[in-house]
A = this chain, B = another copy of it.
Amino acid sequence: MTVGKTPEGWTLVDNALTRNFEFDDFVAAFAFMTKVALLAEKADHHPSWHNVYNTVKISLNTHDAGDTVTDKDVALANEINACIA
């Protein structure tokens, strides 16, 4: 399968698209997480993600495709990039 181009800022780590985000503080970080939650639930495609204070690390792959990166992950990564643009 050919998967779309890796979105800007994301890298492939352990079969997942991964990106680290840093914000001014927890309030800004959690507001971003709320955006991502809304996008993810709408896409029916959810991240594996970690937060501590002002940092958020997101990993995306597709469980139903044997935990590999699919176009669903690329699409969600692009949407996440758009919402912080």
Contacts and interface: CB of A to CB of B under 8 A. Distances in A.
A21 interface: no
Contacts of A49: 50-52
Interface in A38-54: 38-42, 46-53
What is the copy number of this chain in the assembly? 4
A52 to B, nearest CB: 4
Nearest to A37: B30
Given A27-B83, A31-B32, A32-B31, A46 B53 contact: yes
Interface of A: 26-28, 30-35, 37-42, 46-53, 83
Query: Lowest 5 A-B CB distances belong to which pairs?
Result: A48-B52, A31-B31, A34-B34, A50-B50, A38-B41
